[in-house]
């Protein structure tokens, strides 16, 4: 059973709605989950970062900087997802690889 405040619960109950979600809000949502994982299951977080293919040297830099580690990791996660979308688009038939990221592609 999912916690009513969890991100998974929120997404599962969207059904066919498409709420407006800007990048700053998305960063806050991801940062919240990263904070939770850092506090409760750091090994799971490292596993997620590995599976998302976030570059290790970027993770190390995020851990060394003076600002919020969770915020820095959230930005890395979102940036990596943007790269993945751009790469998929580049290999899609008839797509323009130089086209900017569009959140609706996720």
Q: What is the pLDDT of residues 64-91, one digit of tens each?
A: 987 799 999 999 999 999 999 888 888 8
User: Which range of residues forms the domain containing residue 70?
Assistant: 22-92
How many helical (H) and strand (E) elements, i.e. helices and strands, does the chain have? Answer: 5, 0
User: How far apart are alpha carbons 90 and 47 in whole angstroms?
Assistant: 27
pLDDT band for position 15 (cuts 50, 70, 90): low
Total domains in the chain come to 1
With respect to residue 13, please indicate whether it lies within any of the assigned structural domains: no
With respect to residue 38, please indicate whether it lies within any of the assigned structural domains: yes
pLDDT per position as a tens digit, 22-65: 888 899 999 999 999 999 999 999 999 999 999 999 999 999 98
With respect to residue 9, please indicate whether it lies within any of the assigned structural domains: no
With respect to residue 81, please indicate whether it lies within any of the assigned structural domains: yes
Cα dihedral 68, 72, 73, 74, rounded to 10, equals 100
What is the phi/psi pair of residue 4, to 5°? -60, -20
With respect to residue 76, please indicate whether it lies within any of the assigned structural domains: yes
Q: Which two tokens stand for residue 73?
A: 């990791």
């Amino acid at each position: 059973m999912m916690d009513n405040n969890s991100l998974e619960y929120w997404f599962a109950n969207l059904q066919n709605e498409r709420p407006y979600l800007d990048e700053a809000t998305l960063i806050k949502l991801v940062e919240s989950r990263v904070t939770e994982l850092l506090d409760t299951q750091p090994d799971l977080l490292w596993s997620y970062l590995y599976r998302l293919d976030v570059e290790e040297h970027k993770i190390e830099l995020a851990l060394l900087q003076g600002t919020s580690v969770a915020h820095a990791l959230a930005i890395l996660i979102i940036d990596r997802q943007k790269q993945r979308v751009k790469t998929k688009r580049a290999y899609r038939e008839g797509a323009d690889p130089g086209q900017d990221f569009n959140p609706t592609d996720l």
